[in-house]
Amino acid sequence: MPEGHTIHRLARLHRPILVGNEVSVSSPQGRFSGGAELLNGERVEEIEAYGKHLFYRWTSADVLHIHLGLFGKFRTFRREPPPPTEGTRLALHTGDTTIYLAGPTACELLTIDERDAVVARLGPDPLRRGADGDAFGAALDRRSVAVAAALLDQKVVAGIGNVYRAEILFLAGIHPLRRAKDLGPDERAAIWDLARSLLRRGEKAGRIVTVDPADVGERRRSGLGSDERLYVYKRGGQPCRRCGTSVELTEVANRKVWWCPSCQPG
């Protein structure tokens, strides 16, 4: 589930539940028992999303760092939660709400300095206020790799994942294998603007939606079907929604990218 839009949405969802409250913390699975003991009964002061990272600041000055990776998932229950699954790494409970976390790549306690070090390794996050689009452009300009590889590099831009990179490149009309440094200023700016608007749309919608309803026909204007939300991602061999050309599949940076040969000329 998790590209940057999911992470920011989680921060927004968790804030009213946790911030200012004493929280019971446990690790049903046991793999975070030490950390859970330290946090148990403490108060959450602040929750921050940065790219694909979540940071929960506690009054004890500890920072709980969560990275969902490919499989991580939060679940929230009001009132009676079901018993935790075997994979439940972390359970947070306050008032009548319980939050379970399973499958994260990272669930660890950091100092504030260590949190700063994680953030220092990240490029600008288009969902954060004041995010530096010029820094993004400059980072692209320094990369001789394919633009599709650069967009997955969290040092270049924080929060874009495999779905958004394909969709952004489609909407920008840029071939995934063009070298990042060869893009013009307008193209770099277009990518940044698309990243900001599409991630924001995804954060609001709770899922990734990039399609303009006009592109899937009159009758759909009132709402997109669940398989009509994206232009190219996982649509190999199907007709492009804009021009009808068959959507192509290529691997870049070990991940699949789908693209339209007409809309994204090399």
Partner DNA sequence: GGGTGATGCTGAG
Partner DNA sequence: TCAGCCTCACCCC
Tell me whether residue 3 is one of the annotated catalytic residues.
yes
Q: Looking at residues 150 to 189 of the shown chain, list those that interact with DNA (rule: CB under 7 A).
A: 152, 154, 161-163
- Least distance to DNA, CB of residue 152, Å: 6
User: Is the CB of residue 19 less than 8 Å from the CB of residue 43?
Assistant: no
- Nearest-angstrom CA–CA distance, 212 and 123: 28
- Residues listed for the chain: 266
Cα distances (Å, whole numbers) of residue 72 to 11, 181, 201: 15, 33, 22
Binds DNA (CB under 7 A): choice among 21, 59, 85, 262: 85
Query: 79 catalytic, yes or no?
Result: no
Alpha carbons 192 and 182: distance in angstroms, whole number: 16
Active-site pick, 12, 78, 142, 255 = 255
Under rule CB under 7 A, residue 204 binds DNA: no
- Catalytic: which of 2, 84, 124, 176? 2
Question: What distances in angstroms separate CA 7 from CA 50, 179, 187, 213, one per listed residue?
Answer: 8, 29, 27, 26
We find the least distance from the C-beta atom of residue 135 to DNA, in angstroms, to be 18
Note whether 196 binds DNA by CB under 7 A: no
Residue 5: both structure tokens together: 């839009």
User: Among this protein's residues, is 2 annotated catalytic?
Assistant: yes
Catalytic residue among 52, 57, 115, 143: 52
Query: Could you say which of 24, 29, 76, 250 contacts DNA (CB under 7 A)?
Result: 29
Partnered with residue 177 across adjacent β-strands are none
Residue 2 found at the interface with DNA (CB under 7 A) = yes
- Among 132-140, 187-195, 210-218, 252-260, which window interacts with DNA (CB under 7 A)? 252-260
Q: Does 86 sit near DNA (CB under 7 A)?
A: yes
Task: Tell me: does residue 93 bind DNA (CB under 7 A).
Answer: no
Examine the residue annotation and report whether 255 is marked as an active-site residue of this protein: yes
Q: In what order do the strands lie in the sheet with 24-26?
A: 24-26, 88-94, 97-102, 73-78
- Identify each DSSP E strand in the chain by its residue range: 24-26, 44-50, 53-58, 63-67, 73-78, 88-94, 97-102, 106-110, 248-252, 255-259
* Closer residue to DNA, CB minimum distance, 45 or 108: 108
Does position 123 bind DNA by CB under 7 A?
no
Name the residues that contact DNA, by CB under 7 A: 1-3, 6, 29, 31, 51-52, 67, 69-71, 73, 85-89, 102-103, 105, 152, 154, 161-163, 207-208, 234, 254-256
